[in-house]
Structures are given as C-alpha cells and as structure tokens.
Amino acid sequence: MCVLTPPWADEPDARWFKGAFPKAAAVYAHHGQLWLTARALRAGAFTMPDDARQLIESVFGSDADIPPGLDANAMAAEGQGFAALAQAQMNTLTLATGYARGGVDWWSEAKTPSRLGEASSTVTLARWAHGQLRPWVSGKNGWAYSSLRVAERLIAATAPAVDAQQQAALDATLADLPAQGRWSVLLPLSETPQGWVGTALAASRPGQPPRRLAWCYDPHKGLRLLGTELPQNHIKEDPEA
C-alpha cells in the first residue's frame, strides 16, 4: 500500500500539510490528526481488525499529542467541529414531539438544513419549446432527472421572465412542479449562439438587490457561469417556434 503524504517531520510547522496539499488542506481541516495518522502508519505494518483500536486511539485518543507547530490549526478545526455540533443539536428532531411546531421550524428546509456546509439550491433545467417550458430530460420523471445542485450564493431564486407571455408560461410550469417549485429554482434555457442559455437570481449581498446571472448548459460539460446577464437580443426566445 502506498500513501501520499508530506515529507515526514518530527516537529512540523504550521504549513506541514498545507504547503504540500494547498487544496486538500481545506477539505481535511484538522492537520494534527493527519500528522498523527502519518505517525501511526510509520510503524510499518498493522493487521485488521486486530490493530483497529490501536490505530483509532493513536489518532483520536485523549493521549494523542499534537506537535506545537500544528496547535493553532488543531484548535481552529476543533472549534469548527463544536460549532457544527451545536448547529446539529439545534436542528435535532426530538422523538417525543415529532414534527411539531415550536423550537425548530421543520416546515422550512432553509431554516432546518439536513447537511452542514455551504448552502445549495436544487436547480431544475427547462427549455423553451413552442412557447412552453419542457424539462431538459424528456420522458417519465423528466423534471427529477433535469435537476442538479448549485451553491445558493450563485443560484438562489427563479428569475422573472422578460415579458408577460413568458411569465405566464413560467408560472404555469412552477405550479406543476412538486410543491409548486417551492424547494427548487427553475432555470429556463433558450438556444443562443453561445449554447443553451438562461438566467437566475444569485443570493443577495447586504444592502444590494439580487444579481441576475447568465448560465450556459451543455450536456457534456454541464452548467457554466457566463458571469452577467446577456443582452436580450442575444437570446432566441423559442428555438422551435
């Protein structure tokens, strides 16, 4: 078995892991535990499940000493862990009361997220066809198969249509979606010289109105941010009309 690690150091500095893996450093936040893991693996051999307890205790046990150079990182990572634990406890469903109002508002997914981490939106892709919106994927369960997840800071809400006729079609489509589109963002796409393009509202910045951003979807490359809303004359409203 080969394990890719930073060069071993008995007394690592604060950049022991981040210097070697700058991107992975944000994913594996507790660098002290990574150092302890590397130290445990340096024993050269272990047998599972016989040595499982020893491996776990050598990294997560109360007697596992983290070197001073990684203390600041360890305290920051543990602080984030306690913050996540507090949030999870606030959002915990009490079995005795069930899904009852009071305390946690279980009617609002935005207020009661099921996961930690950056907030995200379910984005449902649709395409204009003969003045109507159709799911990107046709056939049974087309709307479900036309959905993907995007960070809420980039796509937070469905953008209003450019005219009354399109807005009526947009409203009719939202009404037919599960929960009338309440828990998803509908992204209507039109065929343009740049590909299939649509706009959606990004999360609002403090003191500013929501940003309307343009997106391009390609079946092979996925969803790509164009940055700013395209001029209206760049968009063909209905490529099949």
139-189 pLDDT per residue, tens: 888 999 999 999 888 999 999 998 899 999 999 999 988 888 888 899 999
* 27 pLDDT above the threshold of 90: no
What is the CB neighbour count within 10 angstroms for residue 36?
22
> How does residue 86 score in pLDDT terms, banded at 50, 70 and 90?
confident
CA dihedral angle for residue 76, residue 80, residue 86, residue 88, rounded to 10 degrees: -160
Q: Which of 126, 141, 133, 122 is nearest to 184 (CA)?
A: 122
Q: What pLDDT is recorded for position 90?
A: 72
Looking at every residue in the chain, the average pLDDT score rounds to 83
Which secondary-structure segment (H or E) carries 157?
strand 157-158
Phi, psi of 234 (to 5 degrees): -85, -10
Strand 120-129 relative to strand 147-151: parallel, antiparallel, unpaired?
Answer: antiparallel
Q: Which of 210, 217, 212 is nearest to 227 (CA)?
A: 212
Q: Which residues of 85-116 are buried (b: 16+ CB within 10 A; e: fewer)?
A: eeeeeeeeeeeeeeeeeeebeeeeeeeeeeee
Secondary structure class of 145 (helix, strand, coil) = helix
Question: pTM of the prediction?
Answer: 0.59
Residue 82 CB-half CA count within 13 A: 6
